[in-house]
């Protein structure tokens, strides 16, 4: 049972580390990485995708984090 508890603990840590407080940001980052990969498979340079994603995601994340509950 301790092995199962250890595996469960690792997944709980990974969930908390990746998703953290805002699941929307985690999903947006995964989508941005997927778009970066898709663009990199074409002849277009893909370096610009993640900075643009940050510019789009950051204001939304800050607004969600600073809103009154």
DSSP per residue over 22-41, as a string?
-HHHHHHHHHHHHHHHHHHT
Average pLDDT value for residue range 41-51 = 95
Distance CA 40, CA 61 (A): 26
Q: What is the dihedral of CA 13, 17, 15, 12, to 10 degrees?
A: 10
pLDDT of residue 1: 66
Average pLDDT value for residue range 3-17 = 89
* Residue ranges per structural domain of the chain: 21-69
pLDDT of residue 42: 95
44: DSSP letter? S
| Mean pLDDT of the chain, nearest integer | 90
Cα–chain center distance at 62: 15
pLDDT of residue 56: 95
């Amino acid at each position: 049972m301790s092995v199962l508890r250890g595996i469960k603990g690792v997944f709980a840590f990974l969930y908390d580390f990746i998703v953290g407080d805002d699941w929307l940001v985690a999903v947006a980052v995964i989508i941005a990485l997927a778009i970066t990969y898709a663009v990199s498979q074409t002849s277009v340079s893909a370096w610009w995708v993640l900075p643009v994603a940050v510019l789009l995601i950051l204001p939304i994340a800050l607004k969600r984090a600073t809103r009154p509950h």
